[in-house]
């Protein structure tokens, strides 16, 4: 995800000087054209993807227009489709995930970048990378059999007992729902936040820290008041990146969110997200309008992640440039 | 020491140890996951699991031989789609392309990389299932291949660019054509990085489930050839996990262990062995 | 690396060749008869090793959608296709799609009421009221009236329904539409509806699990799920006004009337069927097969399977809690097989 290219100057084309004919004879022109076709196909695929999503959702776009995003009715019998419950579910679960994952992730990143000896830091980072490689469906498997029963029997009853006066924790404890999906998502995105934030923190110039320490700041003060603010926009970038992941996450969420299109203030309530409604209904949606409404949801999801990824990249690059200029994100 | 200083030192020590706790918690999740999978899945991994076809619904026994072979076929197709486009595209970007073209290609690749996997599923369904009127291994492999392209492309390009200019100039000075230089000098000197990239992309798509739901579908039997629906490990885990049958739950754990084992081994080989000493960008 | 790739290639080659001799047929749809179909296709494959029928239980809606798109060889559904859907199929493929009933099943209201051990009676109006959100307390007169002698708590009813598109939902809402005008106009019948109240559980098992874990809840599931999970289920008032507990006999009785007057296209609803013994929330479940199959091998294999299913296949039904087809229906279906060309 977090690949910003290091452009090595001068690594580009060298063969400007020789004649076209000699280049053709050497195979250079053929190679250029051949590899160009492959590179161009990437652009083609991307355009085709956007086109298919746009074309495939023409019906609901014309029929519902903008009210698609404001209606909370999802009624396949009477062909009424509104995206609001799914957008709500996606946002709530992602926000919950960030709430849990950001402090944990940034904390861990500070430890890895500032405190741990490089060797330890690298080893831990290796484990974090492995964690990031675990597929979504495995998180879903653990979610169903470990997290859901734990939520239903222990955590949710406790929350209701102590915080039940808040509208956030009312209603029966099902185990499945917004809260569970948020927790599972949090576990999934922590590795991304750690990895990217660690790199960002490591790229903060040494002298920044040393200056603070020399002025009598404690180790924590130099970290929290100097290093972290310096890396702030990069850390925000890592959070956006993680958010984009969380929004598009499908399998694990589908398996633990409860798949009910409701808008409820209670985090214990079952809900549904954009990605999970597509996963559970796309195959079986009868009727053009129903199918196309799901594709429009896909389009919405695509646009959301597109915007977030863009913002994240900008922020990470900005910090890297401010730092040592190594630009490793 | 003044009281204030003592307080500041205390805060410093406390907060720093909290960050340590965060790190330990984050890393221990990995071992918790592994532990659960080994405990629950280890007991269910048996010879039958690897050699038998699934039993009828609700009956105990059977295995996932077809899902394992199905996953292997899907991944092979994914490599056939993803690696050539990613690798050759990267050569174009690193060696031939002008700035504007490179920008557009890179931008498209990043965009593709950010597309949620379920959306890739919709795309592959309308592109590779509907026109052929059949769910198939081919469609599933295509969907996974699409996901491999941007990962392979972007990292390969980085590794190609990091080959020292002196090496290129040396080869060119000896009169080699640019194409020869690429084949004989640049790619070989970046091959470890490129191989790592491909392995990581492979590991990434090996566990993808969402793009397969509407493309490879599933199959209770062997899937002959490439034009039929096929079982695959990730989809089998999903279907078995949400089913009401105890025996299927056990098999889902077993499949989870096998799948995660494969992914972690590939990751460890790629990051720990091949990539020793070179920086691998995370995808 | 190359060697590994080589080995994998050879292995895959062998696997493909081994499987290439057989005929592979793909079907998808209803989850309700999935245990039955899975058993059938397994036994049938053992008896006819060259034919593999791959069935994916993606839901009744999925069965209708995928057969219409032409991405599967046959579909399966618990609710018959409606006229619009039939017309869409006709326009798209230039031939009709045929319904073949396979077995019968029952949907039961299941509940979790601590302290209540008696089997509760539910009038159709009570069920419709509960699912419309009009009947909100367990001691509502509509429920209590049918359960004299049982003391019911004054607690809120927690309504549980299926979250995804499902044939079980179709049968349930079809029944409610027949007994309640308000349900018919407000909600209607379909594999997925807009629920006035309640919480969603995924699959029959999800609903079962939610009811099991939630005091004061009510849900509806396939009979076999209530039985195998040992949760109580209620008696439902039928068209004759008798409270009937779901059983294979009750389902067969519900089908008796329809069996005698079966329409030629087999699209018939047997919810709220007449007859004193009839269990009112019963249903056929259907295979959807195109009337024209151009691949001769596939056509013959499917027809052979259907003949087998109508004869030997029926013997497996009762062990899995499904009711076998009435004789009249079997005879009629055998004739209808000729329509597949």
Mean pLDDT, chain C, rounded, equals 87
Mean pLDDT, chain A, rounded, equals 86
Provide the number of CB pairs (under 8 Å) joining chain A to chain B: 315
- Asked if the model's pLDDT at residue B117 lies above 90, the reply is yes
CB A67 within 8 A of CB A296: no
- Asked if the model's pLDDT at residue A94 lies above 90, the reply is yes
Mean pLDDT, chain B, rounded, equals 89
Angle at C100 between CA C99 and CA C104, to 5 degrees: 115
- Asked if the model's pLDDT at residue C73 lies above 90, the reply is yes
Model pLDDT, residue A1: 39
Model pLDDT, residue A243: 93
Model pLDDT, residue A78: 80
Model pLDDT, residue B55: 86
Same domain, A96 and A240: yes
Q: Which domain does A151 fall in, by range?
A: 63-323
Model pLDDT, residue C5: 52
Scanning every residue of chain B, which has its alpha carbon at the shortest distance from the alpha carbon of A196? B282
- Asked if the model's pLDDT at residue A6 lies above 60, the reply is no
Same domain, C84 and C148: no
Given a contact as 3+ CB pairs under 8 Å, which chains touch A? B, C
Of B36, B116, B252, the CB nearest to A248: B116
- Higher-confidence position of C91 and A283: C91
Same domain, A156 and A291: yes
Same domain, C211 and C117: yes
- Across residues B101-128, what is the average pLDDT? 93
Same domain, A44 and A89: no
pLDDT band with cut points at 50, 70 and 90 for residue C203: confident
Say what percent of chain A tops pLDDT 70. 90
Query: Is A141 in Cβ contact with B253 (below 8 Å)?
Result: yes
Same domain, A36 and A92: no
Same domain, A42 and A130: no
Scanning every residue of chain B, which has its alpha carbon at the shortest distance from the alpha carbon of A252? B238
Model pLDDT, residue A325: 43
pLDDT band with cut points at 50, 70 and 90 for residue C202: low
Residues of C in contact with A80 (CB under 8 A): 194
Scanning every residue of chain C, which has its alpha carbon at the shortest distance from the alpha carbon of B244? C205
Query: Is A103 in Cβ contact with B22 (below 8 Å)?
Result: yes
Residues of B in contact with C71 (CB under 8 A): 129-130, 133-135
- Across residues B139-148, what is the average pLDDT? 96
Residues of C in contact with B76 (CB under 8 A): 8-9, 12
Best of C56, C68, C206, C229 to substitute, by most chain B Cβ atoms within 10 angstroms, is C56
- Asked if the model's pLDDT at residue A270 lies above 60, the reply is yes
B15 token code pair: 């907060």
Of B130, B224, B228, the CB nearest to C69: B130
Please identify, among C210, C225, C240, the residue that sits at the C-terminal boundary of a domain.
C225
Scanning every residue of chain C, which has its alpha carbon at the shortest distance from the alpha carbon of B243? C205
pLDDT band with cut points at 50, 70 and 90 for residue A323: low
Domains of chain B and CATH, by start? 47-282 (1.10.3720.10)
Model pLDDT, residue B276: 64
Model pLDDT, residue C17: 45
- Asked if the model's pLDDT at residue B156 lies above 70, the reply is yes
Model pLDDT, residue B13: 92
CB A185 within 8 A of CB A252: yes
Q: Is residue C268 part of a domain?
A: no
Q: B10 touching A, CB under 8 A?
A: no
What strands lie across the sheet with C217-222, from one edge to the other? C51-56, C23-29, C74-77, C282-290, C97-112, C217-222, C158-162, C199-201
- Across residues C329-337, what is the average pLDDT? 92
Q: Which residues of C316-334 are buried (b: 16+ CB within 10 A; e: fewer)?
A: bbeebbbbbbbeebbebbe
- How many domains does chain C fold into? 2
Scanning every residue of chain B, which has its alpha carbon at the shortest distance from the alpha carbon of A52? B123
- Higher-confidence position of C165 and A51: A51
Lowest mean pLDDT among A144-148, C21-25, C159-163: C21-25
- What is the per-residue pLDDT across A236-247, written as a single tens digit (0 to 9) for each? 989 998 999 999
Distance separating the N- and C-terminal Cα atoms of chain A? 10
Neighbours of C18 (CB within 10 A): 11
Lowest mean pLDDT among A216-225, A283-292, C204-213: C204-213
- Asked if the model's pLDDT at residue A24 lies above 80, the reply is no
| C-alpha span between C332 and A242 (Å, rounded) | 60
- Asked if the model's pLDDT at residue C228 lies above 90, the reply is no
- Across residues A149-167, what is the average pLDDT? 87
Query: Is C56 in Cβ contact with B242 (below 8 Å)?
Result: no
- What is the per-residue pLDDT across A29-62, written as a single tens digit (0 to 9) for each? 888 899 999 999 999 999 999 999 999 999 999 9
Collapse the DSSP code of C158 into the 3-class scheme (helix H, G, I; strand E, B; otherwise coil) and give the result: strand
pTM of the entire structure? 0.87
Same domain, A77 and A45: no
Model pLDDT, residue A12: 44
Neighbours of C94 (CB within 10 A): 10
Residues of B in contact with A34 (CB under 8 A): 88
Q: Is residue A8 part of a domain?
A: no
Same domain, A69 and A163: yes
Model pLDDT, residue C55: 92
Query: Is B56 in Cβ contact with C35 (below 8 Å)?
Result: yes
Residues of B in contact with C9 (CB under 8 A): 76
Q: A121 touching B, CB under 8 A?
A: no
Model pLDDT, residue B280: 52
Same domain, A30 and A147: no
* Nearest alpha carbon to residue B215 among B161, B265, B147, B283: B147
- Across residues C324-331, what is the average pLDDT? 92
Q: B39 touching A, CB under 8 A?
A: no
Q: Which domain does C85 fall in, by range?
A: 25-104+283-339
Given a contact as 3+ CB pairs under 8 Å, which chains touch B? A, C
Q: Is residue C295 part of a domain?
A: yes
| C-alpha span between B132 and B134 (Å, rounded) | 5
List the 138-197 stretch of C: residues with Cβ below 8 A of A: 158, 163-165, 187-194
pLDDT band with cut points at 50, 70 and 90 for residue B76: very high
pLDDT band with cut points at 50, 70 and 90 for residue B181: confident
| C-alpha span between A237 and B106 (Å, rounded) | 19
Let me know how long chain B is.
Answer: 283
- Across residues C174-203, what is the average pLDDT? 87
Scanning every residue of chain B, which has its alpha carbon at the shortest distance from the alpha carbon of C52? B221
- What is the per-residue pLDDT across B190-223, written as a single tens digit (0 to 9) for each? 888 899 999 999 999 999 999 999 999 988 888 8
Q: Is residue A286 part of a domain?
A: yes
Q: C205 touching A, CB under 8 A?
A: no
Query: Is C26 in Cβ contact with B224 (below 8 Å)?
Result: no
- What is the per-residue pLDDT across A202-247, written as a single tens digit (0 to 9) for each? 988 888 888 888 888 888 999 998 999 989 888 998 999 899 999 9
CATH number, residue C152: 3.40.190.10
Residues of B in contact with A309 (CB under 8 A): 110-111, 114
Same domain, A24 and A82: no
Q: Which residues of B135-162 are buried (b: 16+ CB within 10 A; e: fewer)?
A: bbbbbbbbbbbbbbbbbbbbbbbbbbbb
Most confidently predicted of A22-36, A309-323, C283-297: C283-297
- Higher-confidence position of C191 and A67: A67
Same domain, A43 and A148: no
Scanning every residue of chain A, which has its alpha carbon at the shortest distance from the alpha carbon of C31? A284
CATH number, residue A249: 1.10.3720.10
- What is the per-residue pLDDT across C97-127, written as a single tens digit (0 to 9) for each? 999 999 999 999 999 998 887 889 999 999 9
């Amino acid at each position: 995800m977090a690949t910003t290219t290091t452009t090595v100057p001068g690594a580009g084309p060298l063969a400007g000087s020789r004649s076209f004919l000699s280049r053709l004879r050497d195979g250079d022109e053929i190679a250029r054209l051949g590899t160009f076709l492959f590179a161009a196909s990437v652009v083609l695929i991307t355009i085709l993807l956007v086109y298919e999503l746009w074309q495939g959702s023409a019906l609901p776009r014309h029929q519902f227009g903008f009210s698609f995003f404001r209606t909370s009715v999802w009624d396949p019998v009477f062909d009424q489709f509104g995206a609001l419950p799914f957008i709500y579910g996606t946002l709530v679960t992602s926000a919950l995930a960030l709430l849990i994952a950001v402090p944990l992730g940034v904390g861990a990143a500070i430890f890895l970048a500032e405190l741990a000896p490089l060797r330890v830091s690298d080893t831990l980072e290796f484990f974090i990378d492995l964690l990031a490689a675990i597929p979504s469906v495995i998180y879903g498997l653990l979610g169903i059999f470990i997290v859901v029963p734990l939520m239903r029997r222990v955590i949710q009853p406790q929350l209701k007992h102590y915080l039940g006066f808040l509208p956030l924790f009312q209603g029966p404890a099902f185990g499945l729902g917004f809260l569970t999906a948020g927790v599972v998502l949090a576990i999934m995105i922590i590795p991304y936040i750690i990895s990217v934030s660690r790199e960002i923190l490591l790229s903060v110039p040494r002298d920044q820290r040393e200056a603070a320490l020399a002025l009598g700041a404690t180790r924590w003060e130099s970290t929290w008041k100097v290093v972290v603010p310096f890396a702030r926009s990069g850390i925000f970038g890592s959070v956006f990146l993680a958010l984009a992941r969380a929004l598009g996450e499908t399998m694990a969420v589908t398996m633990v969110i409860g798949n009910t299109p409701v808008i409820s203030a209670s985090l214990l309530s079952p809900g549904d997200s954009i990605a999970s409604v597509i996963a559970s209904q796309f195959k079986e949606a009868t009727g053009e309008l129903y199918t196309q409404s799901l594709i429009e949801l896909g389009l919405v999801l695509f646009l959301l992640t597109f915007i977030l990824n863009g913002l994240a990249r900008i922020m990470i690059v900005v910090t890297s440039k401010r730092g040592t200029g190594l630009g490793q994100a | 020491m003044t009281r204030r200083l003592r307080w500041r030192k205390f805060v410093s020590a406390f907060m720093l140890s909290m960050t340590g706790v965060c790190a330990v918690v984050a890393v221990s999740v990995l071992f918790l996951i592994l532990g659960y999978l080994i405990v629950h899945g280890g007991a269910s991994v048996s010879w039958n699991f690897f050699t038998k076809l699934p039993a009828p619904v609700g009956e105990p026994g059977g295995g996932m031989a077809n899902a394992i072979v199905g996953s292997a076929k899907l991944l092979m197709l994914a490599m056939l789609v993803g690696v050539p486009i990613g690798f050759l595209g990267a050569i174009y970007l690193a060696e031939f392309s002008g700035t504007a073209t490179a920008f557009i290609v890179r931008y498209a690749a990043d965009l593709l990389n950010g597309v949620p996997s379920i959306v890739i599923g919709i795309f592959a369904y309308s592109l590779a299932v509907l026109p052929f009127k059949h769910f198939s291994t081919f469609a599933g492999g295509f969907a996974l291949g699409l996901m491999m392209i941007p990962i392979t492309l972007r990292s390969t390009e980085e590794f190609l660019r990091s080959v020292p200019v002196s090496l290129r100039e040396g080869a060119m000075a000896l009169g080699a054509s640019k194409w020869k230089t690429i084949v004989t000098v640049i790619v070989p000197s970046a091959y470890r990085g490129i191989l790592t990239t491909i392995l990581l992309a492979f590991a990434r798509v090996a566990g993808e489930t969402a793009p397969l739901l509407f493309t490879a579908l599933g199959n209770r039997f062997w899937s002959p050839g490439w034009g039929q629906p096929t079982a695959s490990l990730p989809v089998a885990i999903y279907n078995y996990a949400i089913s009401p049958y105890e025996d299927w739950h056990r098999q889902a754990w077993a499949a989870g262990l096998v799948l995660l084992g494969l992914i972690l081994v590939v990751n460890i080989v790629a990051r720990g062995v091949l990539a020793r000493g070179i920086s691998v960008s995370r995808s | 690396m190359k060697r590994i790739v080589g080995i994998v290639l050879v292995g895959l080659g062998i696997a493909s060749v081994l499987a290439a001799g057989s005929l592979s047929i793909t079907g998808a749809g209803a989850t309700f008869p999935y245990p039955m179909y899975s058993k059938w296709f397994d036994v049938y494959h053992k008896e006819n090793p060259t034919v593999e029928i791959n069935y994916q239980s993606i839901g009744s809606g999925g069965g209708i959608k995928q057969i219409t798109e032409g991405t599967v060889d046959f579909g399966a559904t618990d609710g018959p296709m409606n006229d619009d859907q039939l017309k869409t199929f006709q326009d798209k493929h230039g031939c009709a799609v045929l319904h073949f009933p396979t077995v019968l099943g029952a949907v039961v209201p299941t509940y979790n009421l601590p302290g209540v051990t008696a089997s509760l009676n539910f009038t159709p109006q009570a069920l419709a009221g509960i699912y419309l959100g009009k009947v909100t307390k367990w001691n509502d007169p509509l429920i209590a009236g049918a359960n004299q002698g049982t003391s019911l708590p004054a607690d809120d009813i927690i309504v549980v329904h299926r979250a995804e598109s499902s044939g079980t939902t179709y049968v349930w809402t079809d029944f409610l539409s027949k007994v309640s005008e308000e349900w018919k106009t407000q909600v209607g019948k379909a594999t997925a509806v807009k629920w006035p109240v309640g919480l969603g559980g995924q699959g029959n098992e999800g609903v079962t699990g939610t009811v099991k874990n939630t005091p004061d809840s009510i849900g509806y599931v396939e009979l076999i799920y209530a039985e195998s999970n040992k949760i109580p289920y209620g008696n439902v008032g039928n068209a004759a006004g008798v409270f009937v507990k779901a059983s294979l006999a009750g389902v067969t009785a519900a089908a008796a009337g329809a069996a005698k007057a079966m329409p030629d296209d087999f699209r018939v609803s047997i919810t709220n069927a007449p007859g004193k013994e009839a269990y009112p929330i019963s249903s056929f479940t259907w295979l959807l097969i195109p009337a024209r199959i151009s691949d001769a091998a596939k056509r013959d294999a499917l027809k052979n399977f259907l003949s087998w299913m109508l004869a030997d296949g029926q013997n497996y039904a009762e062990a899995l809690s499904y009711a076998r087809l009435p004789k009249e229906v079997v005879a009629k279906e055998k004739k209808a097989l000729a329509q597949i060309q």
